[in-house]
Structure 1
């Protein structure tokens, strides 16, 4: 347990140091720019590590929920826990996020602390980290495209589509499968099951926000298309083309 606490502390210090270095290199940019660079890097690294652990290294989370933590799972969760502590502190200090995101961070931190302390159930929590973090790099890329004025392009459309697709398929559908395996397994403790269900409810809250975004985007594109069509259509007066 002492070694795990030390590992989490080193992780927190590493993310803080990276943020300080990025702030030093990007003084002309905002604080959020540097923080999102840290978030982007964390998302890429943890997605790869948690994905490898869940899909290849094992054990399989759908059949071995509540099993003892492996060394790789402990390292991944320690790395992620250090980041979440950093990011929650940053969000609280700068007050940039809403209640839903703060709740997500708090539940994530509590869940990882519980799993690392118990020494078991990292299998399913690691899988949840994978389906949650895989969309994070796309979310950060979308923000950077906006900041650089390149969001309204084909690249921006691709990023939005892939983000929504992965969120619905992995985080909502995949997350539901993982939650079902966790809740129906007799091995995880009831508190961890309750936390997992709370995390999934938060994901549903994000889903409603995303669906609202998609609806607004579709309506905006439809209105834009109708406007262009009406402008391109020739004007008529009493059944005859208007003279110009």
Structure 2
């Protein structure tokens, strides 16, 4: 257990140092800019690592829930746990996030600590990390596009589309699949099952917010197209083109 604790501490220190470097390199930017750069980098790295573990290295989370942790799974979760400790501390210090996000971070930290302590169930937790973090780079890209004034472009629309698509398909659909495998398996700890269920409920809470965003966005797009058609189509009077 001591090597795992040291690995988590090293991960935390690494993310803190990286954040400090970003702050030094981007003095003209806000602290949130540097923090989101760290978040973007973590999302890219952990998505690749957890995806490799879940899809290629194994064991398969849908059939081996509760199995013993592999060394690669331990490394990935230690890296992620260090990041979540950094991000939770940052959010609490700057008070930038709401209760739902703070609850999500707390559950994630407790779940990873439990899995690393028990020495099993990293298979399904790693899979949850994969389906959760795969949308994070898109979420951060959306924020950076907005900050740079490039959000209301085709690129911004593309980022929003793939973010919503991946969230619904992987985090909600894939998450439900993983959750079912976890709950029906006799191996995982009951407390871990309860935590996993709570995490999925948090994801459903995020889904509600995303659905509201999609509805607002569709309403704005419909209004924009309606106004555009009114400008482009000549006015008509009694079936004839109006005089200009």
Aligned to 2:121: 121
**Distance in 1 separating the partners of 2:170 and 2:241:** 54
Deviation track 1:81-137 (CA, whole Å, cap 9, x = no partner) reads 000000001011111111111110000000000000001000000000000000000
Q: How does 1:149-228 map to 2 (within 5 A)?
A: 149-228=149-228
Q: Distance in 1 between matches of 2:212 and 2:177?
A: 24
Unpaired runs of at least 5, structure 2: none
Q: Quote the residue 2:9 is aligned against.
A: 9
SS of the equivalent of 2:223 reads helix
1:237: Cα distance to partner? 4.3
Task: Count how many residue pairs are aligned between Structure 1 and Structure 2.
Answer: 244
Aligned to 2:41: 41
TM-score with structure 2 setting the length:
0.98
TM-score, with length taken from structure 1: 0.98
Shift of 1:234: 2.0
1:51-90 correspondence to structure 2 within 5 Å: 51-90=51-90
Aligned partner of 2:32 in structure 1 is 32
Q: Which runs of 5+ in 1 are unaligned?
A: none
CA distance in 1, matches of 2:70, 2:240: 79
Question: Distance between the aligned counterparts of 1:218 and 1:100, measured in 2?
Answer: 25
Aligned to 1:104: 104
Q: CA deviation at 1:153?
A: 1.1
In the TM superposition, residue 190 of structure 1 has moved relative to its aligned partner by 0.5
Structure 1 residue ranges (4+ consecutive) displaced by more than 3 angstroms after TM superposition? 236-242
The separation in 1 between residues aligned to 2:241 and 2:119, in whole angstroms, is: 79
What is the CA distance between 1:163 and its match in structure 2? 0.8
Which SS does the other structure have where 1:173 is aligned?
helix
Q: Distance in 1 between matches of 2:235 and 2:156?
A: 35
The 3-state SS of whatever aligns with 1:64 is coil
Provide the rounded CA distance (Å) in 2 between the counterparts of 1:215 and 1:236.
32
